[in-house]
Each structure stands twice: as C-alpha cells, then as structure tokens.
Chains A and B, each alone.
Chain A
Amino acid sequence: MNNLFNLVKKELRELMTLESLISIAVVMILFVGLGYMISDQTEQAMEPVRMGVINYDDQGSSTYYDTVNSALDGMYDPATRDQYLIKLYPSSILTDEETISLMQEKGLSNLLVVSPDFSDNIDNGTQGKIKAYYISANTGAFGGIDSDSVQVFVTVVNGAVSTELMNNELSVTPEEAAFLKSPVSFSMPDNYTYINGKLYSDITPSAISGAMMTQTLMVPIIIMIVIMVVGSIVISSMGTEKENKTLETLLTLPVKRTTVVSGKILASGIMGLVYGAAYMVGMYAYMSAMTASAGAVNLADYGLVLEPVDWVITMLMMFVSILCALGLCMILGAFVKNYKSAQTMTLPISVVAMIPMFVFMFVGWNSLPAAMQAVMFAIPFSHPMMVMQNLMFGDYVLVFAGLIYCVAFAAVTVLITVRLYNSDILLVGFGQTRLGRILAKYKKAD
C-alpha cells in the first residue's frame, strides 16, 4: 500500500503540473462561456420577432386591409408593438432589390409583403398572396427562427382573413368561425405523459427527449475528450519512461509489477477524474444557462433530475470507464518505443471512443436496435455517455450492469498489462519476440 501510494504520489507530481492545471481551468472557462453564449442566443430567440410589413393592399376599398393589420397588431404587446412591428409605406411598389435595400436601411432581417391584389383576389374567390423577404445572417442553431416566425405570422393572418371571409360570405360570427375552423379541442395540457411513475399533463415525450438531448449533448463529447486526454497522458508516460530509461530502474525496485501498473493507472485515473470533474462543473454551468432560458423545458419539473447520489454514480462510472481506457492504453503503451511513437498510439482508443460519442449525441439507448445495443454495451466508454439519461429515467439495471462490466473490463486490462510488464516485450520491444520476428520476416518477404 505504501509502495502504491509512493508511486501514485510521484505520478501525480509529474502529471499535475502548472501547465496541465491551466489547461483544465481554460477548458472549464470555455464551457461556462459557451453556456452563457448559447443562453444569450436562446434569450434573443425568445424575444418578440422584429417584423417588417408592407401592405400594398391599401387601395382604400380593399376588404381585408384592416383584417390583416389587426391580425398582425394582435401578435404583439401594445406597449412594445412599435418596437417590433415595423410597418413600411413605400410610395410605389418596390422591386425585389429595392425591397432588400429598404430592409437593410431599416435594419430588418425579415419582411412580409401583402400583394396589391390581395383583397381583390380573395373577393374573386382566389387566394390572396403574401411574400416574405429575409436577410440571412445567423447561420447557427437558431438560424431557422426568422422563417419559422414568418410562418406563424402568415398562419395568424390566414386565420383572421378566413374568419372575416366566413363572416362576409356566410354570415358566420367570429365565434362560430373559430369553431368551424377547429371543431376538435387538443392543446398542450391535453397531453398526458407517464414519466418515472408519475403522470404529467402538459408535456410530450418528444419535448422531454428534445430537452434532454439539448442538455446532455455535451456529455459524450466530454467523455471522449477526457478519454483522449488521459489515454495520451498514460501512453506518453510510458514513452517517456522508456525514452528516459527510468522504466528499467522502476522495474528493478522491490515493488510488485501489479503495484507499478496500478500506480500508473490510479494516478492517471485521478488526473482523468480531475479533468472530468472540471469539465462537469463547466458543463453544469452550461446546462444551467441553457435551462434558465425562457421557454426551455425544465426537466426537474418532471422529476428528471440527478440527485446527489446519481452524480456520485455518474462520477464513479466516469472513473471506471477512464480506468478501462487507461488499461487499454497501458497495453498499447507497452509497445511504444519512445515519447514520439506514443503520440500515435492513442488513435485506436480515440476511434473507439468516437463511435459511442456520435451514436449517443443523436440517439438514445432505447432507440438503438438490439445488435447496436450489444456493440454499445461492449464499448466501455458508452456507459458514462448514457449514464445521466439512464439515471434520470431510473434505468438502474442498465447503469449497474454497465458499471459491473466496466469494472470487469478494467480488471482484465490491468491483468493483461501486468502480464506484459512481466514479459520481455516492455524492454526489448515487440520486434524481438518470436511473433514479432515472424511478422518482420513476412513483411520483408512482401
């Protein structure tokens, strides 16, 4: 135990340098910043849309001019309406280019144009025309908001004109028109969703999964980054030990090879956990910023929240999966010749970590076909990527099965590593073994 402590202390002293601590802090700050940036974007998206309108239907006798105007006015709070609904009155009908110039002049990114023959067409039994102009600037995740808002505006105008039309043509009152247009009642509170043993009446599964995807989107990325970082740490450490010839000294000290291997894995695992915890803190701030945004579904309202014990399980899962990665890296590290060759050895681990990352960024465990579930379960890095969602939904069987699997996986990799440490490969290299020489001969013959 004393030897293990001595080794872990030495490894940590080498790993926890000022440079590594600064890099952890920078990543944490980046996550927090990212959260606030997205929160800011979300809040901006939740603000009333600034909409420009040119109604060419203003012919004095037009039937639906007032209807369209009232419908648009009704979309805004009267107190702030003039700020957001920008009505424009050009002296003549503008060309497309002139319309865009006017939008640029007024600082508008979207504009509705009601055609001059709007009312006449409707009066004659044909559809009235509305056109929309956009100046595309935001190409990010919220780039679709302008066009979505215009669609809502057109729907509202359509409804108002339809009601007016029914009143004019069929003498139907607005109330009757509303009924005729929507005889079936179905609104958000009419959705009943059973979550973790409780029935909620104002949420749909797609809203839940959408919110969950948004909030846990970064988890697989973080896990992958941590695995790549700690993998690189341990393989590089092996490369450095060989390059500096400290490995030979270490292996002739009165300490069991199991202790040497455990010391390296444990110290790198602790380092990985520090990285993971720092990223988690950053991610927590990121998630908080996201959920604090107006209109976002707050998963905690539906019991989908991680309790302190769940966070402990999450961290434990992360730690154990890091140990799996480290075990694999130690096996690969046994074959590295020096620090330089160690750098390329992390590639296989990174690729294996990327597979579940891409899968769980877009698909949940239950949506996967059985064969894919088996593959994902077999990759130890999948488990920390899906643990938060599984804990929120109370799927403890999958969580603990994954935990046990990861512990067993890590133990097997440690045993293989110890075996390698007891063999000649570590010092003389794979090329000096019988298999290595056969392969080299085969390659030469090629």
Chain B
Amino acid sequence: MDALRVENVHKIYGNIEAVKGINFSVKEGEIFGLIGPNGAGKTTALRMISTLITITSGKITVCGYDVAAQGDDVRKSISYLPEDAGAYKDLTGRTYLRFIAGFFTDGEETEKMTQRGMDIANLGDRIDSKVNTYSKGMMRRLLIARAIMTSPRFAIMDEVTSGLDVMNAHDIRELIREIAGSGVTVLLSSHNMYEVESLCDRVAMINKGEIIMQGTPAELKAKYDAKNLEEVFIKGVKSVEQSV
C-alpha cells in the first residue's frame, strides 16, 4: 500500500506556479528522497503534504487520508520536521517533549512518550536545560526526537542534517535508518546527495516545479551513466536547462 500518493498536484501563488502537476508515490516503510535545486518546489511540496498550505489543484493522499478534506486525520498520522525548525526557547528540552506528547496521549502515556523522546534525543542532563542554551546539533536531536517519539506512520523531514557537523549528521542518519527499520515511512528532502544516496530507497528530483526523474539511486545512476547521485543531479538539472 502507498503511504503517500501525489497526483497531478499544482500550487499557484498569485501568478507564479510553484508546483506544476507533480506525480509520485511512496510505499509504506520506504525512505523516499525528494531532491532538487533551491527554489525547485521541494518545500512547497512538503508543506502541501503536511497540510500546512492548501493545494491549488490535484490530490494528495497520506496514509489513505485526503490532505484537502481530512487534514486532522493526516496530522494524526504524520510528523513534519521543517528545515531550520526550532523549539520554544523558554522551555526545557523535557517540557518541550512533554508539551508535544500531550497532543498524542494522556496521563501516564504522556510521560512514557516523553521518556521515549528523551531516550532518542540522548541529551543527558541537558534535557532539563532551557532550549535556548542548546547547540545546533542538540536542537536537531531534540527535534528529531520530537518527530519520532510519537511513532508516526509517516515522517516528513526537510533538510534534516543541514548545518550539522559530521558526527551529528552521521548520528541522525543512523536514527532515520532505525525508525525506517521499525516500519515508519520517511519522506526526506536534502541537498546532501551522499545522504540521499545512502539513506533513500527511491528518489524523485524536482526542478522548476516539475518532477524530472524518479527511481532508485541505482536506476538513476544507470540512466544518467553517473558514478553517484550528485552527478545524476547535475546532469538532470543541465538537461532541463538545455531543453528550455
């Protein structure tokens, strides 16, 4: 069964068409990468999928729920981690996790979920420090813990390791592998082609609002006769530029 189906989706801002009839699907338990240059429409697509912005036309289904008509049900199934997301700076890491857990469970279950988040974040004693004292890596760990502790069926992650050092980025990629291993479907967007290639089962590339290629990293590399996904990316973008 498809965890996500995106069918002929358009998004128009005023007189600019940011997304031009994209189609792709993500299977349950899959890690799917959405790649593309800056301003290609990745974040707009992720925001539509996560119910943050409206769809101009077309249809998106997440875990069987129509994003346009069943937003509340979609939000119960997903977990969205935006690019450069932050947490409430006056809260401690623990109270932030408890605040989020409060929307998913009640009573003792909230505490259990919070504990799970704390285990994932692995921030030690610093979990009781205020969030505004956290480093970027600590903040990212907290936010990923927030996104995962709720056991979502579908996790959407935008530039999940952006700005992190090698160790932190590595830890977070391991974490994503772990959650995908536990059955969570992951849709991630990244500029880091190594990350996408090493993590994703399948990849779609978006450029100027259109999906220009999709497939497994191996299929795409073979198609473009490329050594790695970065080369695929460059050839893909250039081919679009030449065709215009």
User: Which of A74-82, A121-129, A403-411, A424-432 lies at the interface?
Assistant: A424-432
User: Which of B72-80, B189-197, B198-206 lies at the interface?
Assistant: B72-80
Min CB–CB distance B85 → chain A (angstroms)? 5
Residues of B within 8 A of A367 (CB): none
Residue from the list A13, A434, A436 in contact with B90, Cβ < 8 A: A13
Per-residue B-contact encoding for A235-271, CB less than 8 Å = 1, 0 else: 0000000001110110111111000000000000000
Residue from the list A3, A255, A432 in contact with B14, Cβ < 8 A: A432
Residue from the list B15, B75, B79, B106 in contact with A2, Cβ < 8 A: B106
Contact A246–B86 (Cβ < 8 Å): yes
Q: Please tell me if B104 contacts chain A, counting CB pairs below 8 Å.
A: yes
Min CB–CB distance B82 → chain A (angstroms)? 4
Min CB–CB distance A431 → chain B (angstroms)? 8
Contact A427–B99 (Cβ < 8 Å): no
Residue from the list B14, B54, B91, B103 in contact with A6, Cβ < 8 A: B103
Per-residue A-contact encoding for B60-88, CB less than 8 Å = 1, 0 else: 00000000000010011011111111111
The complex places the Cα of A339 from the Cα of B143 at a distance, in Å, of 22
Residues of B within 8 A of A433 (CB): 13-14
Contact B52–A423 (Cβ < 8 Å): no
The complex places the Cα of A334 from the Cα of B135 at a distance, in Å, of 29
Interface residues on B, range: 35 or more
Residue ID in chain A nearest B143 by CB atoms: A249
Contact B80–A432 (Cβ < 8 Å): no
Contact A437–B106 (Cβ < 8 Å): no
Q: What is the predominant secondary structure among interface residues of chain A facing chain B?
A: helix
Q: Please tell me if B173 contacts chain A, counting CB pairs below 8 Å.
A: no
Contact B54–A10 (Cβ < 8 Å): no
The complex places the Cα of A17 from the Cα of B13 at a distance, in Å, of 40
Contact B13–A252 (Cβ < 8 Å): no
Min CB–CB distance A33 → chain B (angstroms)? 31
Q: Please tell me if A14 contacts chain B, counting CB pairs below 8 Å.
A: yes
Residues of B within 8 A of A436 (CB): 14
Q: A256-B72, A427-B47 are in contact. Are A6 and B90 (CB under 8 A)?
A: no
The complex places the Cα of A10 from the Cα of B134 at a distance, in Å, of 19
Contact A428–B84 (Cβ < 8 Å): no
Q: Please tell me if B115 contacts chain A, counting CB pairs below 8 Å.
A: no
Residues of A within 8 A of B81 (CB): 249
Residues of A within 8 A of B15 (CB): 434, 437
Residues of A within 8 A of B103 (CB): 3, 6, 253-255
Contact A254–B47 (Cβ < 8 Å): no
Residue from the list B54, B79, B146 in contact with A423, Cβ < 8 A: B54
Q: Please tell me if B53 contacts chain A, counting CB pairs below 8 Å.
A: yes
Residue from the list A246, A423, A424 in contact with B85, Cβ < 8 A: A246
Residue from the list B13, B51, B82, B91 in contact with A428, Cβ < 8 A: B13
Q: Please tell me if B23 contacts chain A, counting CB pairs below 8 Å.
A: no
Min CB–CB distance B75 → chain A (angstroms)? 5
Residues of A within 8 A of B75 (CB): 252-255
Residues of B within 8 A of A248 (CB): 47, 52, 80, 82, 85
Q: Please tell me if B223 contacts chain A, counting CB pairs below 8 Å.
A: no
Residues of B within 8 A of A438 (CB): 14
Residues of B within 8 A of A254 (CB): 72, 75-76, 103-104
Residue ID in chain B nearest A11 by CB atoms: B88
Residue ID in chain B nearest A438 by CB atoms: B14
Closest 5 pairs (CB-CB, A-B): A437-B14, A244-B86, A6-B102, A252-B80, A254-B76
Q: Could you pull out 6 A-B pairs where Cβ atoms are within 8 angstroms?
A: A3-B102, A248-B82, A249-B143, A254-B75, A424-B13, A436-B14
